[in-house]
Copies of this chain bind each other. A is one copy, B any other.
Amino acid sequence: MTRILYDLTASEDRRFSPFCWRTKLALRHKGLDYEARPVRFTEIDDLSDGPRLTLPTLEEDGRRIVDSWTIAEHLEAAAPDAPTLFPGGQDLARFVQAWTNTTVHPTLIRVILMDVFRALDLQDQAYFRPNREERFGMTLEAFTAEHAGALKAFRQCLQPLRAMLADRPFISGDAPAYADFIAAGAFLWAGAVGRSDVVEDGDAVAAWLARVTAGIDN
């Protein structure tokens, strides 16, 4: 089977999408080969004649599956004999996803938005700035003006993760699984644009992240 993951990239092949990271970690967990094909913001329209795709999109022998959660469910069903993505059922991953999407990401973007912007090439910057300034209702610079406060808020919002890791090495228990990949995606997003410093050394979150991401590159 030919398996292509359309994977959002910045300049210099920096793969920064937290949602694409979820899928790449899931594919690796399942032991499935794939090509992570880099796509810039301004290349997404070229992927489809119809409605604009969202990334990640996984293409298997020409069949496209869109949305990281849908892809995870597909991979779980398609590779039932590989290690499960949901060792305790899907509900933990659903709640971690709800928390990551509505709390972790919105808090982190206040910290790293300018880093994301600077990582893009000029053509993507020209798309990204007005798109995000309309979404946030202010300039990128205004949105990220309170950097120290934003970083403090981000580290504070990780408390549920720290509490979870107090008596287990992974969110999912003794081994990492999709709930971990969802949360880890946020830090891989930051790391790809040069902000590995959003977590302090010595934080239990840093040690967990190192365990989850050991051995990965793009």
Nearest-CB distance from A124 to chain B (Å)? 28
With A102-B160, A103-B159, A163-B102 in contact, do A171 and B95 touch (Cβ < 8 Å)? Answer: yes
Chain B residues whose C-beta falls within 8 Å of the C-beta of A91 in the assembled complex: 88-89, 91-92, 171-173, 179
The A interface is mostly helix, strand or loop, or mixed, namely helix
With both beta carbons as reference points, the residue of chain B lying nearest to A162 in the complex is identified as B102
A164 at the interface (CB under 8 A from B): yes
Which residues of B are found within 8 Å of A92, using beta-carbon distances?
88-89, 91-92, 94-95
Q: How far is the CB of A208 from chain B (nearest CB, A)?
A: 13
Enumerate chain B residues within 8 angstroms of A58, measured Cβ to Cβ: none
Does A213 belong to the interface (CB within 8 Å)? no
Question: Are B88 and A160 in contact, with the CB atoms below 8 A?
Answer: no
Interface size of A by Cβ–Cβ distance < 8 Å? 25
Collect the chain B residues with CB atoms within 8 Å of residue A94's CB: 92, 164
CA distance A55 to B171 in the complex (A): 27
A108 to chain B, nearest CB (A): 14
| Interface residue from B103, B162, B171 paired with A157 (Cβ < 8 Å) | B103
The 7 closest A-B pairs by CB, nearest first: A102-B159, A88-B89, A98-B163, A88-B91, A91-B92, A99-B160, A98-B160
A-B contact pairs, 25 of them (CB 8 A): A88-B88, A88-B91, A89-B89, A89-B91, A89-B92, A91-B91, A91-B171, A91-B172, A91-B173, A91-B179, A95-B95, A95-B96, A95-B99, A95-B160, A95-B171, A97-B163, A98-B159, A98-B161, A98-B163, A99-B99, A99-B160, A102-B159, A102-B160, A103-B103, A103-B160
Contacts A89-B89, A102-B162 known; list 6 others, CB within 8 Å: A88-B91, A95-B160, A95-B171, A98-B164, A102-B159, A103-B157
